[in-house]
Amino acid sequence: MLNRPTSVGCKKQATAPSGAVSRRSFVAAVGAATAVGSVFADPMARVAHAAGSDRVKIGLIGCGGRGSGAAMQAMNADPGTVLWALADPFVDRIQSCANVLSQAVVDRAQSDASFKDRFDCPVERQFTGIDGYKQAIALCDVVLLAAPPAFRPMHLRAAVEAGKHIFCEKPMAVDAVGLRSVRDSAAIAAEKKLSLVSGFCWRYATPERDVYGRIHAGAIGPVRSVYTTYNASGFRGESPRQEGWGEMEYCIRNWPYYTWLSGDHIVEQAVHSIDRLAWAMNDQMPVSVNCTAGREMRSDRPVGNNIFDHFTAAFEYADGRRGFHTCRHFPGAASDNSDYIVGTTGMATVNGFQNIQQIVADGKTWQSDAKKNDMYQQEHDELFASIRSGKPIFDGTRMANSTAMAIMARMSGYTGQPVTWSHVWESKEDLSPTSWAVDSMVPPTAIAVPGKTKLL
C-alpha cells in the first residue's frame, strides 16, 4: 500500500481567486440559479436571433491538449464564434493554450479572413486558480468543459446554473456522488432548454451512425450480446515534479493516474467503448455488472498512482442479455478498439480506427460506404447549429448513463463484488477532497484490493 500524502501545497497564481472550493457544496445545491451576465430569459434566443452574424462568446475550461482541440473545433464550427475566455488552475497551461490557438487563428486567417476575429482573449480574460472557471463562465455564451474529470460535476453545475450552452467532455464524473450531481445538472439543462453536447464522439461519426442505425433497424435481428474492447499501451508518462509544486499540483498535473481525479482508465478512456456498448443495446441499461481487474504491469510513477491496468466486465440485462467489455494498459502488447455485436440473425463488427463498419447476415457481408467525417468537429458543428436554430441538442441522459456503466464496472473491479445499477446511483462513494484549497488533504491513494476493498 502506498503512503497517503498528508498535506498539499499549490503554486499560487497571480490572478488566482482566494477561497476553497468544495464539490459537495455544488452537489447539495440542486436547483436552477439566475443566469449571470447578459442572459435573456430564453438562452437559445440570445445568440440565435441573427443566424451566422452575431458573435457567440466561447469560454474554455481546462487548457490541456483536449481543451485546446475543442476550442479550435468550436471556432471552426460557426463564423460568428469567438474564443473569449480561458480558465485553468495553472498559468503556464493557459499561456501555452493561448499561444497555440492565437497562432492557429492567424494561420487560418491567411486563407479565411473571417478567422482574424475568432480569438479575442486578452490576459484580463484568462483566469487561473482552481475556481477561475467561475469568472470565465460568467463572461461567455457557450462553455467547453475539458478539465480533469473530477472537476466535471462542479463545472457542469456552474455552467448550467449560469444558463450557458455546453460542450462537456467525457467522462462526466469519477464517483457516485459526482454522477448524481451530473444527472441533476442535466435535468436543469433540459428544463432551461440549453444545448448540452457530450464528448462521446463516436456518436457523431458518420459511418458509426450508419452501422448502428442499421443494427437498431433490425439488420442483425434483436441484439443478444455485445463485446467491446479498449486495449492500449497506456497514458503518457509522468509530468515530473517541479520546484514549488505541492502534492495537489503534482497530482492534478498527473491526473490520469489517480482514481480520485480520473476515475481510472476504464472510466476516463475506455468509457468510449462502454458508450458504444450502450449504443448497441439501444441505450437500455444493465441491471448489474461483475468485473475482474488489477495491476499487472503498472509502474510506480507518477508517485502514489493507484489506478489499475486491466479490467474485464460482464454486464447483465433484465432480459438475460449480456454485454462484455475488456480494456488494458500493457505497453508492448497488441492494441484493439473494436465492437462485436451478435444478433439473432447476424452479427456486426465495428472498428472506427480501421474504418470497419461491417454487418454479416443472410450469407451476405455489408460494409458501410458512409463518408468518414471528423467526429470531433461534427460535435461542435451540431452544437453551434443547434444554438443558431434554437433547437437544443440534449446528450445529458445518455452521457450520464454511459459514465455510470463505467463507474459501476470500476467499483466491481476494485472490490470483487457485483454492483447493481441501483447501487451505483445510491452509493455513498465520494473520491473528492473535502476542499480543493491549497492547504487541504488530498484523498488517500491506496491501491484497491479485490475481495478486501469495501463496496461503498
Q: Count of CB atoms within 10 A of residue 422's CB?
A: 10
- Interval 65-78 mean pLDDT: 97
pLDDT for the residue numbered 434: 81
pLDDT surpassing 90 at residue 24:
no
> Per mean pLDDT, which range of 30-44, 56-70, 250-264, 436-450 is the poorest?
30-44
- The dihedral through the CA atoms of 167, 173, 178, 180 has a sign that is positive
pLDDT band at 438 (very low <50, low <70, confident <90, very high): low
pLDDT for the residue numbered 421: 98
- Interval 233-238 mean pLDDT: 94
Q: What is the DSSP code string of 255-277?
A: GGG-HHHH--HHHHTTHHHHHHH
pLDDT surpassing 90 at residue 51:
no
Angle (deg, nearest 10), helices 375-389 and 206-216? 80
Q: What is the DSSP code string of 123-176?
A: GGGEE-STTTHHHHHHT-SEEEE-S-GGGHHHHHHHHHHTT-EEEEPSP--SSH
pLDDT band at 443 (very low <50, low <70, confident <90, very high): confident
113 burial via Cβ count (<10 Å: 0-12, 13-18, 19+)? exposed
Instruction: Dump pLDDT digits (tens) for 100-114.
Output: 999 999 999 999 998
Bridge partners for 83 per DSSP: 58, 119
pLDDT band at 35 (very low <50, low <70, confident <90, very high): very low
3-state DSSP assignment of residue 84:
strand
Task: Write out the three cell numbers for 405.
Answer: 456503466
List phi, psi (to 5°) of 403: -65, -40
Q: What is the spatial distance between Cα 307 and Cα 445, in angstroms, rounded to a whole number?
A: 9
Q: What is the DSSP code string of 11-37?
A: PPPTTPPPS---HHHHHH--SPPPPPS
pLDDT surpassing 80 at residue 375:
yes
Task: Write out the three cell numbers for 219.
Answer: 439488420
Element of type H or E holding 186: helix 176-191
Q: What is the spatial distance between Cα 456 and Cα 454, in angstroms, rounded to a whole number?
A: 6
3-state DSSP assignment of residue 189:
helix
pLDDT for the residue numbered 53: 55
Instruction: Dump pLDDT digits (tens) for 176-229.
Output: 999 999 999 999 999 999 999 999 999 999 999 999 999 999 999 999 999 999
- Interval 398-419 mean pLDDT: 98
- Interval 26-35 mean pLDDT: 33
**pTM attached to this predicted model:** 0.90
pLDDT band at 436 (very low <50, low <70, confident <90, very high): confident
pLDDT band at 231 (very low <50, low <70, confident <90, very high): very high
- The dihedral through the CA atoms of 355, 338, 73, 390 has a sign that is positive
Chain mean position to CA 198 = 7
pLDDT for the residue numbered 42: 60
Task: Pick the closest to residue 175 from 195, 159, 154, 196 (CA basis).
Answer: 154
- How distant, in Å, are the alpha carbons of 159, 169, 212, 272, 308 from that of 332? 41, 28, 32, 22, 17
pLDDT surpassing 70 at residue 6:
no
Full set of structural domains in the chain with CATH: 23-200+379-394 (3.40.50.720), 223-343+403-426 (3.30.360.10)
